[in-house]
Chains A and B, each alone.
Chain A
Amino acid sequence: NAGVTQTPKFRILKIGQSMTLQCAQDMNHNYMYWYRQDPGMGLKLIYYSVGAGITDKGEVPNGYNVSRSTTEDFPLRLELAAPSQTSVYFCASSYSPGVSEQYFGPGTRLTVT
Chain B
Amino acid sequence: GQQLNQSPQSMFIQEGEDVSMNCTSSSIFNTWLWYKQDPGEGPVLLIALYKAGELTSNGRLTAQFGITRKDSFLNISASIPSDVGIYFCAGLQLNTGNQFYFGTGTSLTVIP
Interface residues of A (CB under 8 A from B): 4, 31, 33, 35, 40-45, 48, 50, 56, 58-59, 90, 92, 97-99, 101-107
Contact B105 A90, beta carbon cutoff 8 Å: no
* Residues 10-37 of B at the A interface (beta carbon under 8 Å): 30-31, 33, 35
Can you name 22 A-B residue pairings with CB atoms under 8 Å? Answer: A40-B104, A40-B105, A41-B104, A42-B4, A43-B43, A43-B90, A44-B1, A45-B100, A48-B98, A56-B97, A58-B99, A92-B42, A97-B31, A97-B98, A98-B50, A98-B94, A101-B33, A101-B45, A102-B90, A103-B45, A106-B42, A107-B40
A31 (CB) vs chain B CBs: closest residue? B98
By a CB distance below 8 angstroms, the chain B residues around A50 are 98
Interface size grouping (class) on chain B: 20 to 34
Contact A43 B88, beta carbon cutoff 8 Å: yes
Q: How many residue pairs at the A-B interface have CB separations less than 8 Å?
A: 66
CB distance from B106 to the nearest CB of A (A): 11
Contact B90 A48, beta carbon cutoff 8 Å: no
By a CB distance below 8 angstroms, the chain A residues around B44 are 104
- The answer to whether the Cβ of B92 comes within 8 Å of any Cβ in the partner chain is yes
Binary contact track B58-96/A, C-beta < 8 Å → 1, others 0: 000000000000000000000000000000101010100
Decide: A102 near B100, CB < 8 A? Known: A42-B88, A107-B41.
yes
A3 (CB) vs chain B CBs: closest residue? B42
In the assembly, what is the distance between CA of A35 and CA of B43, in Å? 11
CB distance from B37 to the nearest CB of A (A): 9
In the assembly, what is the distance between CA of A106 and CA of B42, in Å? 4
CB distance from B86 to the nearest CB of A (A): 9
Contact B42 A104, beta carbon cutoff 8 Å: yes
CB distance from B31 to the nearest CB of A (A): 7
A56 (CB) vs chain B CBs: closest residue? B97
- The answer to whether the Cβ of B108 comes within 8 Å of any Cβ in the partner chain is no
B89 (CB) vs chain A CBs: closest residue? A42
Contact A42 B104, beta carbon cutoff 8 Å: yes
